[in-house]
Amino acid sequence: MTKKMLSTGLSLLILLTLLSGCVSTTPEYDKRFGDAVRQSRLEMTINPNAGSTADAALGLDGTAAREALVRYQSTFKTPPPVTNVISISGSRQ
């Protein structure tokens, strides 16, 4: 009788172990999926309602913005000159 109980108990343990692989845990993971990205995006947005107003952008007027863009694009045509940096350190080379 003990051998039969041991065999039944072992079979039950194996069956329960195999059935535990069928349990779905994705609803717990999926309900919070993307929360970190959404939170980071909200923290980096200065004004979430900026598209709903017709106010001009603050900081640059049209002329300054155009010149900055032209200067930026010209750096790809001719790169800026290389400047030598003097480094003073205590290490010997």
- What is the per-residue pLDDT across 29-87, written as a single tens digit (0 to 9) for each? 778 889 999 999 988 888 778 778 776 667 778 898 899 999 999 888 877 778 888 87
pLDDT range class, residue 90, cuts 50, 70, 90: low
Is the pLDDT higher at 93 or at 46? Answer: 46
Please list, in sequence order, all residues whose beta carbon lies within 8 angstroms of the beta carbon of residue 68, skipping any fewer than 6 positions away. 60
Which two structure tokens, joined as six digits, stand for 37? 């990205």
H helical segments located in the chain: 2-20, 26-30, 35-44, 62-77
Structure token digits, residue 54: 């017709």
